[in-house]
Amino acid sequence: MEMKQPMMMNREDGGEQEKEQESKENGRLVADSVVEKGQKSCSGPGQVSNGYPSTSPQSPREGAGAGTDRGSTPGAFRTLVVQQTSLDPPRETWSKKMDFLLSVIGYAVDLGNVWRFPYVCYQNGGGAFLLPYLLMAVFGGVPLFYMELALGQFHRSGCISIWKHICPIFKGIGFAICIIALYIAFYYNTIMAWALYYLLSSFRATLPWTTCNNKWNTPNCTHYLSTDFNVSWTDNSISPAEEFYIRQVLQVHLSPGLHQLGWVSWQLALCLLFIFTVVYFSIWKGVKTSGKVVWVTATFPYLVLLILLIRGATLPGAWRGVVFYLKPDWRKLLTTSVWLDAAAQIFFSLGPGFGVLLAFASYNPFHNNCYKDALVTSSVNCLTSFLSGFVIFTVLGYMAEMRQQGVETVAKDAGPSLLFIIYAEAIANMPAATFFSIIFFLMIIMLGLDSTFAGLEGVITAMLDEFPHLLARRREWFVLGLVCVCYLGALSTLTYGGAFVVKLFEEYATGPAVITVVFLEVIAVSWFYGTTRFCNDVQLMLGFAPGVFWRVCWVAICPCFLLFIIGSFLAFPPEVRLFDYLYPFWTTVLGYCIGVSSFICVPSYMVYHLVTTKGTFKQRLLKSITPEASGSSGPQRDTIVITNAV
């Protein structure tokens, strides 16, 4: 970005030979010409001495000499217009506004919208759950979403370097966010590798999870289709889709638990390698390339959801699933767990605190209306979750109709199992099963890719802004190294017991840590930086300041919202179970250690900053909570380069 500021300097043409002082390349020069007594300043169009054309033409008239061409008349005064230019390379920006919106929507709408929201909804009162969900969104999720977009757009920095402009002692939050993002990349992309395995297995006339005569099947495998009414379903029956997922894709039966993970599955290793290859070539050049990729990855899932919704609504028994999904149970609103699940769902769905919103917004024009963007993207996210519930439960009602069971029995699986077992089995029983299987698992992959693009871009932006001289010109190599680290870190999730590792990371390594980090972020912005200063920043960008509602949310409601989630998690730690494996106590300790390993960056950096800052302890503490004085906020951030000519 270049900011232009005209400087007027007087110069005399009294027959003396003109002298020019050479400007130092990329250096800061201060005008040192002497203004003689009696000289008058005037302005005129021309070209500045550093070669840039003047973009701020001035009036050629001055006082009594109005209408005289001062540039050609001997003895006249001429104006030297100097352009303000940044010494640093201009910051990359989005090619189009839609690139940004689709990137944010693609990040917020992920796999959790498809499998977690429908499950949480029917577990917590069906339609009655929508009330606490909407309340938590309005008073907690959307204000946090808006705050991060505004911070990133105003300070134009990643999640590490932004803290010197807010509250320097909290800079450890940025490092913690980067570590959390790495942990997510270690397991999240493995789920896409599973989906890719399913996608490749779908290119055949008969889907492999529809039959029981494969090498991985057991005697309990019960093969049935919608036309096999003579086949009875018992409590010991195992569907071919479940055995394909557990015994062929995951091969989890070859691992007794986390204490013995077994070998790496070479099929999944190749699938994950392909996923990371796509990720690398989508983000290696920055938002200019990833902004184009999301036009496909963010829009295609909506097309597939619409197709699956229409197909699901025409299946027999679909109405049973919809009734089960939306039938309200108002008594459950009296339980704490419903409100906790609503708060956790909206928080992890919108995704503040992962550094992504800061990074994406930092590439926006300074006066972009991020307030409108926050409302639009968060609304799209919530509506997508609600729509996904119909897509899932029409199929669950169909499965219940086939098995002659209740929907609650069929819907006992949550998480990835809901997609890879129940939904995969339902697709296999549809006409044109191959087509629906291909587009469904392609949708799963694209939903995951958007979130991976965003998560890694948050880390990349943070590191490039923090170490610009080291990494700015080596982005491609840095991204390659980051992707390689993520792939190596994900190898443990590709073992026979890799599904246990994925569950461990999901439950302990990221959730509590990122909620605590966001809590500290809100405290730092609202209480240390100050809502008044923050609202003034927003007014400078948008032309209007946030209202009382937003101020109250940032100061009081959002911290209480986050404390409620943290306190509930600590008071009622989840009992982690996957299939028939109950996680032992030592795995809980291991999970908390992984979570603390990221959060420990916050107090560690506080101690480091206080130790390395000069002065008395009071002076150090005061300097640590005071934003660094710099012109790096908004349009005033560029360095003025003044070149002088006599």
**645 close to 21: Cβ distance less than 8 angstroms:** yes
State yes or no: 543 annotated in a binding site.
no
- Residue 437 tokens read as 């299987």
Alpha carbon distance 607, 612 (integer Å): 9
Alpha carbon distance 6, 19 (integer Å): 21
Burial (CB count within 10 angstroms: exposed 0-12, middle 13-18, buried 19+), residue 574: exposed
- Residue (of 248, 201, 243, 224) closest to 429 by Cα position: 224
Query: How is residue 23 annotated by DSSP?
Result: P
**79 close to 635: Cβ distance less than 8 angstroms:** no
State yes or no: 113 annotated in a binding site.
yes
Q: Is 63 left (phi over 0), alpha (psi -120 to 50) or beta?
A: left
DSSP 411-426: TT--THHIIIIIIHHH
**305 close to 387: Cβ distance less than 8 angstroms:** yes
State yes or no: 562 annotated in a binding site.
no
Burial (CB count within 10 angstroms: exposed 0-12, middle 13-18, buried 19+), residue 371: middle
What residues contact 441, with CB distance under 8 A and at least 6 apart? 195, 196, 198, 199, 202
Can you state the percent helix, strand and coil of the chain, rounding each to 5?
A: 65, 0, 35
Alpha carbon distance 372, 375 (integer Å): 5
State yes or no: 451 annotated in a binding site.
yes
**264 close to 273: Cβ distance less than 8 angstroms:** no
- Residue 468 tokens read as 């610009």
State yes or no: 108 annotated in a binding site.
yes
**460 close to 454: Cβ distance less than 8 angstroms:** no
State yes or no: 342 annotated in a binding site.
no
Q: What are phi and psi of 575, to 5 degrees?
A: -90, 110
State yes or no: 580 annotated in a binding site.
no
**623 close to 609: Cβ distance less than 8 angstroms:** no
State yes or no: 364 annotated in a binding site.
no
State yes or no: 381 annotated in a binding site.
yes
Query: How is residue 575 annotated by DSSP?
Result: -
| Residues in binding site for Na(+) | 106, 108-109, 113, 349, 381, 447, 450-451
Binding residues: 106, 108-109, 113, 349, 381, 447, 450-451
